[in-house]
Every structure is written in structure tokens, then in C-alpha cells.
Amino acid sequence: MNANLQFDFIVDKENSVLTVIREFAAEPQMVWDAYTKKELLEKWFAPRPWTAKTGHMDFREGGHWLYAMCGPDGEEHWARMDYQSITPITEYIAQDLFCDAEGNPNTALPQSEWKVEFKPTTEGNTVAHNTIKYNSLADLEVVLKMGMQEGLTMTLEQLDELLGTMKNK
Amino acid sequence: MKLRRDPFQAIADPTRRAILVLLATQSMTAGAIAKNFDVARPTISKHMQVLQECELIEGSQEGREITYTIKAENMKAIDQWLEQFRKIWEDRFSQLDNLFITMKKEKK
């Protein structure tokens, strides 16, 4: 992890809103692509050791990304990111919901609203503001119980080590 | 047998969250808490009961009234749980950093 890059994680318990602010050493166009193109999203969206795969991608207002979080033991959790409004390279708003492999929504599981904004810095970097609104904090726990805990067993030190070896390639 | 509930059940309700916010700064009697809400007193009592079962607050009898105090150490458990979520995002974004390094190399 680069200590020089801004990272803020703010939890508004009262309103069940998570705000994750992160600076990236890349220009807005590149960050925008990483957030909106399936082949790039698949490379980072799932926390390790989980991986993401795409069932369908139609990045436009009214379109959606149908994706699965795939676990190390072969388990799959399908979800959909429904794009509601898009302002290229600046921001988008989407509804994230769980579904089956065909994209049929599972209304029993929590939904969240994502607003992602991208702001250029004077150094040529990009700051991404991720605002995620849940119906309740309890919903967040359900999301965690879907299996993401396993991604946490890897300590940050191990992660740094892994990133180090990947950069050397 | 003592009934134990999940603290996340406690904070899932907006009225209970508001009660915790009130108690965060001071101990209060049930009557004083109820005055802040536009709902029937028994409804507030029920919320207080859930909060107590989740061990996020504790009550002590003082005369005819019960005074409630927040249990800070158990509220901390919620913060620790949220910390896990923070790690997921850190992990995600570390992967994204790595992706940008690769993308920049490919551009050259």
C-alpha cells in the first residue's frame, strides 16, 4: 500500500452510509476505465482470494453489470450493478443488488446505492469518492457473511509482499 | 438462561440508534429518553429492552426510575467489525493500484 495516497474510510452509523475516499496514481480517464470496463473491473473488484467474473456488461444509463464473486472453493455469489446515471469521467450512480446467475434479483438480500465521483488532483492523480448507502448497518453484516470474511484472513503484510512480487514481474 | 441478542439487531432500528446517540453523551432515565420521541412510552420501553439484551446499554434502578448508561466497550465491538470492512476496501484498492501500474506500462 502506498502511504502517500489519501485513504479515508468514514462510517455514518446514523444514516448507514459508508464513504470511502481514495487517491490513485493515475489520471481520471484511467480510473474511470478501471471502474467501468468489465475486463478491468474483474481485475480488482473482488477482495483476494475472491475473484470477479462478468456475466453481462452494458455500461449505460438503464444498463447493468452482472457479475459474480467467486470464492476459492468454487462458490459464486451473483450480483448486479444497475447504472442509473452516468456523467463520463466524472461520476455515476448505481444500485447494487444480489441476484441469480441469470440476473433475476434476490430481494431478500440487501441492496445498496453507490455514488462514485472522480476528481483530478493538481499532481495528475485522481481521487475517487465512493458513497455507499445501505438500508441499515445490519445489511452490511449480511454482505460480509456472504463469504467475504475469507478475504480478510490475509494480513496486510502478506498483501504488501504479494504486490511487491507482482510489480517485479 | 440469559437471552443474548446480536448488537447489529439493536442498531438496525432508527429509534434505537437515536436512543444510543442520546445516551452517548449522558446517562438518562427512561422517562427523559421517552420525552425525545413522538411514540408511546411502552414502545420506547421495548426498544430499551432490546438494547439491554444486546448489552449495549445497562440500567440501574434509582428509586422509582431506571437510569440507563451506554456500555462503551460493547459499542467498540461494532467499530471493530466495521474495521473489517475497511480492510476489504484497502485490499480492493491495493489491487487497483497494481492494475494502474500495469496499465501505465502497457501504454508505453
With a cut of 90, say whether residue A17 has pLDDT above it. Answer: no
How far apart (Å, rounded) are the C-alpha atoms in residues A107 and A161? 40
CA nearest to B102, candidates A147, A74, A128, A39: A39
Q: Indicate whether B36 pLDDT > 70.
A: yes
**pLDDT tier, A154 (very low <50, low <70, confident <90, very high otherwise):** very low
Residues in chain A: 169
Return the top range by mean pLDDT from A24-33, A66-75, B30-39: A24-33
**Closest residue to B100, CB basis, from A24, A137, A151:** A24
pLDDT value of position A90: 98
pLDDT-derived band at A135 (thresholds 50, 70, 90) equals: confident
The verdict on B100 touching A (C-beta cutoff 8 Å) is yes
Q: Check if B39 contacts A (Cβ < 8 Å).
A: no
- Select B1-70's CATH number: 2.120.10.30, 3.30.60.50, 3.30.360.10, 1.10.10.10: 1.10.10.10
CA distance A47 to chain B (A): 5
CB distance from B95 to chain A under 8 Å? yes
Architecture of domain A7-168: 2-Layer Sandwich (3.30)
Distance from CA of B88 to the nearest CA of A (A): 6
pLDDT of residue A8: 85
Which chain B residues are closer than 8 Å to A161 by Cβ? none
Total number of residues shown for chain B: 108
Domain boundaries, chain A: 7-168
Higher pLDDT, B101 or A148: B101
Mean pLDDT of B87-107: 88
Please, what is the average pLDDT of chain B? Answer: 83
> Residue B4: pLDDT band by 50, 70, 90 thresholds?
low
| Average pLDDT across chain A, whole number | 82
Contact B57, B48 (CB under 8 A): yes
Identify the band that residue A158 occupies on the pLDDT scale cut at 50, 70 and 90: very low
| From A13, A144, A151, residue closest to B17, measured CB to CB | A13
Task: Quote the pTM value.
Answer: 0.67
Q: Which of A16-20, A146-150, B70-74 has the lowest mean pLDDT?
A: A146-150
Higher pLDDT pick, A107 / A57: A57
Residue of B nearest to A19 (CA): B86
Average pLDDT over residues A154-163: 38
- Comparing A131-140, A147-156, B33-42, which segment has the lowest mean pLDDT? A147-156
Nearest to A167 among B78, B84, B101 (CB): B101
The minimal CB distance from A7 to the residues B11, B84, B90 is found for: B90
CA-nearest residue to B21 within chain A is A14
Which chain A residue has the Cα nearest residue B105?
A167
Alpha-carbon distance of A112 to A95, in angstroms, equals 6
A163 vs B97: CB contact, 8 Å cut-off?
yes
Contact with chain B for residue A12, Cβ under 8 A: no
Q: Which of A93, A84, A95, A86 is nearest to A129 (CA)?
A: A93
pLDDT at A150: 40
Nearest-CA residue of chain B relative to A166?
B98
pLDDT band at A3 (very low <50, low <70, confident <90, very high): low
Q: Which of A61, A38, A35 is nearest to A117 (CA)?
A: A35
Query: Which of B82, B87, B101 comes nearest A152 by C-beta?
Result: B87
Residue B63: which pLDDT band, with cuts at 50, 70 and 90?
A: confident
